[in-house]
Every structure is written in C-alpha cells, then in structure tokens.
Amino acid sequence: MAIAQAEIRAFLGRHFAAQLEALAIEPAELPDDLDLLERGVIDSFGLIELIGSIDEEFDLCVDFEEIDPEQLTIVGPLCRFVAKASEGDE
C-alpha cells in the first residue's frame, strides 16, 4: 500500500508535537528542510525510535540503510524516502 508523503509528514507532526511546539514550529506545517536531529527534536536514540515508529505506524519494513544518513533526519527527504519505500511494499 503506497503511503503519501503528506501522511508521513502528518505522523511526524503528531509524533513530535510537544518538541516542535517548544521550538515554535507548528506540527501541521513542518518545513521540508527541518532537520529533526540538528534542531534537537530527536537525539541519536530518538532516531532509532523514529525508525521503529515509522515501521510500526505504517506497517512497513523499510530498509533505512538505503537512504543517505545525512538525509535521514530531514523531514522532506525522509518523507519522500518512506513514501517511495511503501510503493515497493505493495
């Protein structure tokens, strides 16, 4: 089942709502270039949790080793990667 980037972005907004609001970022309006790690929304352990949460939320088994590690924590590239990975999961 293909998942739209908007669904993934909405999930991220819900999942990190408190952290985003603390940074004065509206969870429903995540910027494409927001780096979750750089802005302190997640730490390295949080990244591992995020990967598990995405897999669980969307019932996917995404191979995150296929994405450039520098892009993994940036909202836009992460959403595009997960959406594309979900197409292959059909």
Q: What's the CA gap between 75 and 78, in Å, rounded? A: 5
Q: How many domains does the chain have?
A: 1
Q: What is the CATH number of the domain that holds 62?
A: 1.10.1200.10
The pLDDT of residue 67 is 86
User: What's the domain range around 27?
Assistant: 5-87
Q: What does the radius of gyration of the chain's CA atoms come to, in whole angstroms?
A: 12
Buried/exposed code over 62-72 (b: 16+ C-beta within 10 A; e: otherwise): bebeebeeeeb
The pLDDT of residue 89 is 58
- Whole-model pTM: value is 0.89
pLDDT tens per residue, range 32-82: 999 999 999 999 899 889 999 999 999 988 888 888 888 999 999 999 999
Task: Count CA atoms within 13 Å of residue 16 on its CB side.
Answer: 33
For residues 38 and 75, is the Cβ–Cβ distance under 8 A? no
